[in-house]
Structure 1
Amino acid sequence: MKILLSGGGTGGHIYPALALIKRIKQVHPSSEIMYIGTEKGLESKIVRNAAIAFKSIEIQGFKRSLSISNLKTILLFFISIKKSKKIIKDFQPDVVIGTGGYVCAPVIYAASKLKIPTIIHEQNSVAGVTNKFLARYATKIAVCFEEARAEFSRYSDKVSYTGNPRAQEVVGIKPSTILKDYHLAVNQPTVLIFGGSRGARSLNEAFIAALPELNKKKYQVLFATGDVHYERIKKQVEPQIKENLSISVVPYIENMPEVFANVDLVVSRSGATTLAELTALGLPSILVPSPYVTNDHQTKNAESLTKRGAAKMITEDQLTGKSLIKAIDELMLHEEIRNNMAKAAKQLGLPEAADHLIQMIKEIIR
């Protein structure tokens, strides 16, 4: 098989693509893979570092307000369609897959005009603007939340619930001694709190406010501030945790899935990739959706889990040190509640998500 993928802008669009590529190479080692992204996006570094053939196009998103830059966006769109067609003709893929971000628009559109089978993959419960635009041109639409089906109601015959390939990548991870790397004890109840790679100011402030109470708890806490916030927060909290061996504050966690496999509760934002990993591993969580994302999709993602008993949610305007402690204690001090939430999360996980997508690929290229 020859497979062309495109996706960019955020890790949430890139990492599912990489997880799918990894699985394709495992089950079809002779497959040829190519990736189209932008030079300015995260994908240019992440994909190249993964030793995957990479081609770039120049494209940008529309401004939501009236702006002269939107004229440039339109011009770049037509130029990038032309370049995408050339890349596709040269590579001659059997299928083209878009995992989100505006870079996918010219790539999937070009492939459809060249009569190449296409798949768009929507990770969130609320579809992105690019995927809504591409739905009419795509051969198949893969979704990770059942709620997302309604976003493509005009094309319901194309939609399949496949899940996020990232789930299949993490589901086999076993408990380890990784907590030692963070100066915490192994096999002791542990809460992980983080706000994404760059951190989240609201979670950081709530942690600082909750610290006097967290210092008294019997459970451990691993807290990732985000690189940009670390030095400031370290100065604030260091005097309080200097002799407390059950609280560890770090800027960033490199291997998040392995840490997930060794903690009992996660407090985090509700991005699609994080939720795919949590449900694949059957981890209870307290979700604090970011209100600053398009269409408030993180709230919808969190609601998908909370209504099924797989997570608790605290909205950002309700997040305080007291509300954080209360929510954590409700789970960490009541094992039965925590276990029930873990079971509900596990039921939502799709541990064969990548295989579902591979099967979809095979069906449309026959």
Structure 2
Amino acid sequence: MTSETRTGASRHYVLAAGGTGGHLIPAFALAVELHARGHHVALITDDRGANIPGKPDFLTAHVLPAGRFGKNPLGWPKGMAAVVEGRRMALRLFDAFEPSAIIGFGGYPALPALLAATSAGLPSVIHEQNAVLGRVNRLLSGRVDAIATSYAKVDRLKPRHAAKLHLTGNPVRPEVLTLREQDFPAFTEEGLLRVLVTGGSQGARVLSEVVPDGLAMLPPALRQRLQVTQQCRAEDLDSVRQRYAEHDIPAELGTYFEDMHERLADAHLFIGRAGASTIAELTAVGRPAILIPLPIATDDHQAVNTREMVKAGGARMIRQDAFQPKELAKQIQAMAMNPGSLANAAHCAFNCGRPDAAKDLADLVESMSGIDLMDVIRVGEASPRVAQTAARPQTSTRKAARGMVAEDQVGA
């Protein structure tokens, strides 16, 4: 049921997100869902976000100053001045656009927009993509009306804010979500083993160094059936191509694949980083994975992101300092030597998916502006503003079956 059929009203919403894919992919997915419901949506971001591929044509981007706060306190006054200026510009935008709610997706560009929203008394929501609450979202969690999470357990979230929690999941691109209706590709003892390797938007040198040699160490019966697609940095392409040629392993290499969702559909096994969007897509589609968390990720959040998928049996995690060819070959054998084991891991990954994340997040956002909250999972007690607007009880038995997070599960 769309918002128009429920209320007859078209509303305005502002999304605010940092300029990386991890922040913007879920923001774009929410924008598409809200637009489909008849609402008007605008985006606040930085220069990178305004020009990133995949931004919906209808989504107008506004670039605001957003200071960064690093470890050197000498740069903090400049960062604060940028935040103050960005907040002032956001208030002017809100006066003109008259949004019903502001939704932040983390990243420094979201900070001035959400500060402006809370100071103006506008309804506000933050969405956390990772299993660890990010820095900007930690700063805002006490001010906003609702906190949407992608995981049932979120670290670095203060228990006193648990009443604001709503488990929505992490929205993924529509073209990826359609793959959920497809079966896991057939994998037999004689058939090809298709492996997809990516290292995030910029690639990862460690994957280029380890994966070819690790695959070469597999038993001949498995190695001879390999078909590899790997994303590499431009400067690594020639050396990685040479390694695969020396090992006589068929491999298609590239710095970027526009049809990544189609390659994911064909893959039997994924090897790569553990970013929030990556895991959301793997679980939405149901693909087993070997995950190597980025060791410099803030608060080690990529390692924490793997927790749910690994526990369910859909993935294996290898720390980068232990990511050696022999260890990779060992883990691949454990997952792929028996075709049934790989299919079972795919099923476990599939069960971790939250395919209705965009719809659930849109329901929560609409509820902030007077539209009944339909069936978003309530993690804690509703915040006062949500309690006033969310009159209907939850009706989805499917979502209720996922369970709710008790306050003692939330990291301090």
TM-score (norm 2): 0.79
Residue 71 of structure 1: aligned partner: 77
Percent identity at matched positions?
Answer: 29
Select the residue among 37, 41, 45 that pairs with 2:45.
Answer: 37
CA contact (8 A) 1:108 1:134 kept: yes
Select the residue among 49, 52, 63 that pairs with 1:56.
Answer: 63
Shift of the 143–196 alpha-carbon distance from structure 1 to 2, 3 Å rule, reads same
Letter in 2 for 1:9: G
Per-residue CA deviations over 1:294-334 (Å, capped at 9, x if unaligned) read: 11100111123212222101110111111112211221211
Residue 199 of structure 1: aligned partner: 203
What is the rounded CA distance, in whole Å, between the counterparts of 1:224 and 1:323 in structure 2? 19
Residue 339 of structure 1: aligned partner: 343
Residue 184 of structure 1: aligned partner: none
1:157: how far off? 1.0
Residue 262 of structure 2: aligned partner: 258
1:44: how far off? 3.5
Residue 102 of structure 1: aligned partner: 108
What is the rounded CA distance, in whole Å, between the counterparts of 1:141 and 1:169 in structure 2? 26
Residue 122 (structure 1) aligned with residue 132 (structure 2)? no
Residue 315 (structure 1) aligned with residue 323 (structure 2)? no
SS of alignment partner, residue 125 of structure 2: strand
1:226: how far off? 2.6
Alignment of 1:261-340 (within 5 A): 261-340=265-344
What is the rounded CA distance, in whole Å, between the counterparts of 2:53 and 2:67 in structure 1? 19
Shift of the 188–202 alpha-carbon distance from structure 1 to 2, 3 Å rule, reads same
Shift of the 52–129 alpha-carbon distance from structure 1 to 2, 3 Å rule, reads same
CA contact (8 A) 2:315 2:345 kept: yes
State which drifts further: 187-196 or 278-287.
Answer: 187-196
CA contact (8 A) 1:215 1:247 kept: no
SS of alignment partner, residue 115 of structure 2: helix
SS of alignment partner, residue 204 of structure 1: helix
SS of alignment partner, residue 290 of structure 2: strand
What is the rounded CA distance, in whole Å, between the counterparts of 1:363 and 1:169 in structure 2? 27
**What is the aligned-residue RMSD (CA, Å)?**
2.3
Alignment of 1:157-196 (within 5 A): 157-166=163-172, 170-173=176-179, 188-196=192-200
What is the rounded CA distance, in whole Å, between the counterparts of 2:365 and 2:86 in structure 1? 25
Shift of the 290–150 alpha-carbon distance from structure 1 to 2, 3 Å rule, reads closer
What is the rounded CA distance, in whole Å, between the counterparts of 1:59 and 1:106 in structure 2? 7
Shift of the 342–175 alpha-carbon distance from structure 1 to 2, 3 Å rule, reads closer
Select the residue among 2, 27, 30 that pairs with 2:12.
Answer: 2
Residue 18 (structure 1) aligned with residue 28 (structure 2)? yes
State which drifts further: 123-132 or 202-211.
Answer: 202-211
State which drifts further: 219-228 or 270-279.
Answer: 219-228
Per-residue CA deviations over 1:265-322 (Å, capped at 9, x if unaligned) read: 1011000000000001111111110101111100111123212222101110111111
Letter in 2 for 1:278: L
Shift of the 21–327 alpha-carbon distance from structure 1 to 2, 3 Å rule, reads same
1:232: how far off? 4.0
Name structure 1 gaps, 5 residues minimum: 177-186
SS of alignment partner, residue 154 of structure 2: helix
Runs (4+) of structure 1 moved beyond 3 Å?
A: 42-51, 211-216, 227-232
Residue 404 of structure 2: aligned partner: none
Residue 136 (structure 1) aligned with residue 142 (structure 2)? yes
CA contact (8 A) 2:149 2:166 kept: yes
State which drifts further: 262-271 or 188-197.
Answer: 188-197
What is the rounded CA distance, in whole Å, between the counterparts of 1:169 and 1:97 in structure 2? 23
State which drifts further: 344-353 or 187-196.
Answer: 187-196
SS of alignment partner, residue 261 of structure 1: helix
SS of alignment partner, residue 60 of structure 1: coil
Matched residues, number: 351
State which drifts further: 154-163 or 332-341.
Answer: 332-341
CA contact (8 A) 1:60 1:76 kept: yes
What is the rounded CA distance, in whole Å, between the counterparts of 1:144 and 1:109 in structure 2? 23
Shift of the 134–157 alpha-carbon distance from structure 1 to 2, 3 Å rule, reads same
Residue 360 of structure 2: aligned partner: 356
What is the rounded CA distance, in whole Å, between the counterparts of 1:341 and 1:288 in structure 2? 17
Shift of the 103–91 alpha-carbon distance from structure 1 to 2, 3 Å rule, reads same
Shift of the 267–97 alpha-carbon distance from structure 1 to 2, 3 Å rule, reads same
Shift of the 12–282 alpha-carbon distance from structure 1 to 2, 3 Å rule, reads same
What is the rounded CA distance, in whole Å, between the counterparts of 1:239 and 1:264 in structure 2? 22
Residue 209 of structure 1: aligned partner: 213
Letter in 1 for 2:66: I
